[in-house]
């Protein structure tokens, strides 16, 4: 892994397994067109007072990113765009990418103290594809436990379900089920989480490795190229390293980039020592 601290020459090409400490909008033009298998975009949400989160209009900001990523993705490649529930409202992304799902990342433990409205308890992860068909969707790598007791399971197997207008049998699959589009099984990090790199990274910055792991396993294969233009403290990049994916990371805050570099190096060491695991 190489960390580049100098501004990138606009004529150069961004290289795999590099972390660029720079503004994403300076480096993205240097990423090869149709070169990425997957983009993980966990950038500004436009809701906090952090300098990096201040954007004039989050929907216009996201539309601009969607346009850029549609150029950088291979046909069938995937984009996961993080945000708040309104993050792609009233913009027309359809000429660029195809929206397959809006995944709800449900966080029941968030402090619910709203007095005039229902407290927002979830983030959205917009799952886009370039074209109509994903080139990769590794369902078997992301199945989750099917929490049905035995008696109910037998009953389930006799319950008819409708698929493409025809009745079929609901099947219990021992390998687990599709995680669906509401994810309540992956908790937000807390100040007690082992993987938290520091208090300042809590809530606004650092995502759980298990969340990134699910996205990366589902929509890429070993050796694929994953682009993370707002890398933060490097969660997705460290997971890429653990899972044998190549990556291009961009982060403008040098302190976060330094933490990201440490995590990627640690992931490399863990691979060598056969110690791979995701902390709770």
Ligand X SMILES: C[S@@+](CC[C@H](N)C(=O)[O-])C[C@H]1O[C@@H](n2cnc3c(N)ncnc32)[C@H](O)[C@@H]1O
Among 14, 24, 73, 216, binds ligand X (CB under 6 A): 24
Of the pair 73, 233, the CB lying nearest ligand X is at 233
Residues contacting 270, CB < 8 A, separation 6+: 242, 276
Question: If binding is defined by CB under 6 A, does position 23 make contact with ligand X?
Answer: yes
Among 72, 242, 245, 252, binds ligand X (CB under 6 A): 252
The answer to whether 192 touches 215, Cβ cutoff 8 Å, is no
Stretch that binds ligand X, among 42-50, 69-77, 112-120, 159-167 (CB under 6 A): 42-50
Of the pair 135, 232, the CB lying nearest ligand X is at 232
Q: Which of residues 68-87 bind ligand X (CB under 6 A)?
A: none
- Tokens 């908790």 sit on residue: 187
**CB-CB neighbours of 105 under 10 Å:** 19
Closest residue to ligand X, based on beta-carbon distance: 232
Stretch that binds ligand X, among 23-31, 97-105, 114-122, 168-176 (CB under 6 A): 23-31
CA distance 218 to 210: 12
The answer to whether 213 touches 235, Cβ cutoff 8 Å, is no
Among 74, 232, 239, 242, binds ligand X (CB under 6 A): 232
CA distance 11 to 43: 25
Name the minimum Å distance from CB 160 to ligand X. 42
Among 69, 251, 264, 267, binds ligand X (CB under 6 A): 251
The interface mask with ligand X, positions 193-212, x = CB under 6 A, is ------------xxx-----
**Paired tokens of 18:** 């590099």
CA distance 45 to 238: 22
Q: Can you tell me whether residue 112 is helix, strand or coil?
A: coil
Question: If binding is defined by CB under 6 A, does position 235 make contact with ligand X?
Answer: yes
Among 217, 241, 253, 267, binds ligand X (CB under 6 A): 253
Name the minimum Å distance from CB 207 to ligand X. 4
From residue 175, alpha-carbon distances to 73, 141, 146, 179, 259 in Å are: 31, 10, 8, 12, 36
CA distance 247 to 226: 5
Question: If binding is defined by CB under 6 A, does position 123 make contact with ligand X?
Answer: no
Q: Can you tell me whether residue 116 is helix, strand or coil?
A: coil
Question: If binding is defined by CB under 6 A, does position 214 make contact with ligand X?
Answer: no
Of the pair 44, 77, the CB lying nearest ligand X is at 44
Which parts of this chain interact with ligand X (CB under 6 A)? 23-25, 42-44, 52, 205-207, 230, 232-236, 250-253, 256
């Amino acid at each position: 892994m190489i960390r580049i601290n100098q501004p990138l020459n606009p004529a150069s090409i961004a290289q795999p397994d590099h972390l660029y400490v720079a503004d994403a909008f300076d480096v993205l033009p240097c990423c090869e067109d149709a070169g990425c298998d997957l983009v993980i975009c966990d950038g500004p949400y436009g809701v906090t007072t952090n300098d990096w989160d201040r954007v004039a209009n989050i929907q216009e900001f996201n539309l601009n990113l969607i346009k850029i990523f549609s150029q950088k993705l291979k046909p069938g490649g995937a984009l996961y765009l993080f945000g708040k529930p309104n993050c792609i409202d009233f913009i027309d992304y359809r000429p660029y990418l195809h929206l397959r799902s809006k995944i709800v990342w449900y966080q029941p433990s968030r402090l619910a103290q709203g007095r005039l409205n229902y407290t927002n308890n979830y983030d959205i992860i917009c799952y886009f594809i370039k074209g109509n068909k994903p080139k990769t969707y590794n369902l078997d790598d992301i199945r989750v436990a099917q929490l049905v007791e035995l008696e109910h399971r037998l009953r389930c197997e006799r319950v008819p379900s409708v698929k493409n207008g025809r009745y079929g049998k609901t099947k219990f699959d021992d390998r687990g089920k599709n995680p669906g589009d509401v994810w309540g099984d992956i908790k937000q990090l807390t100040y007690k989480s082992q993987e938290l790199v520091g208090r300042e990274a809590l809530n606004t910055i650092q995502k759980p490795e298990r969340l990134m792991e699910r996205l990366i396993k589902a929509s890429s294969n070993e050796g694929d190229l994953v682009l993370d233009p707002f890398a933060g403290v490097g969660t997705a990049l460290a997971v890429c390293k653990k899972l044998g994916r190549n990556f291009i990371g961009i982060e403008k805050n040098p302190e976060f980039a330094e933490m990201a570099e440490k995590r990627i190096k640690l992931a490399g060491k863990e691979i060598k020592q056969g110690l791979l695991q995701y902390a709770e």
